[in-house]
Amino acid sequence: MGATEAVAAASGGVWEFYRDERGVSVVKIELSGAGGSDAERAMILAEVKRVMRAALEGRLKPYVELKHIYRNPLLFELRWEIGDAVIPARLWRLYFGWHSNLGPLRVAFKFGEKPRGAAGRAVQDRHIDEAGSRYAIWLARRASS
């Protein structure tokens, strides 16, 4: 079983949201600012909650809802394409780390939109790099506490 399948099948544990040096949950801020309207934001938040709950229940769909990140092998991504007949579909990603020996613990590090087209890859790479930086800070804090 590969890493993606293992994380998808793991049940139990908790989610933690990365906090910056001020103690602010920046990922929750990113989530609350997502979408171009209240209706789209509500759709996004409902889907994020559904998939995060599925993660705790070991019901993620590998390679559809969950993917291992090759750019940073410490990270995984939850993936969405969210839209309906009124709101055009957009791609969204939540980058997180997974620690099987801590509960398991899933730590959300970055949430953002992945634009379509050529610009999408560059934006996604920046998001992955930002998530990786946050992960390094989180690990350093854990090691010093």
- Domain extents for the chain? 3-144
Assess whether pLDDT exceeds 90 at residue 64: no
Cα distance between residue 141 and residue 144, in whole Å = 5
What pLDDT, in 10s, does the model give residues 93-130?
Answer: 999 998 877 777 899 999 999 999 988 999 999 999 99
Q: Which is more confidently placed, 34 or 8?
A: 34
Assess whether pLDDT exceeds 90 at residue 24: yes
Which residue in this structure is represented by tokens 């997974």?
98
Per-residue confidence (pLDDT) for residue 140, from 0 to 100: 94
Mean pLDDT of all residues in 77-94: 94
51, 80 in Cβ contact below 8 A? Answer: yes
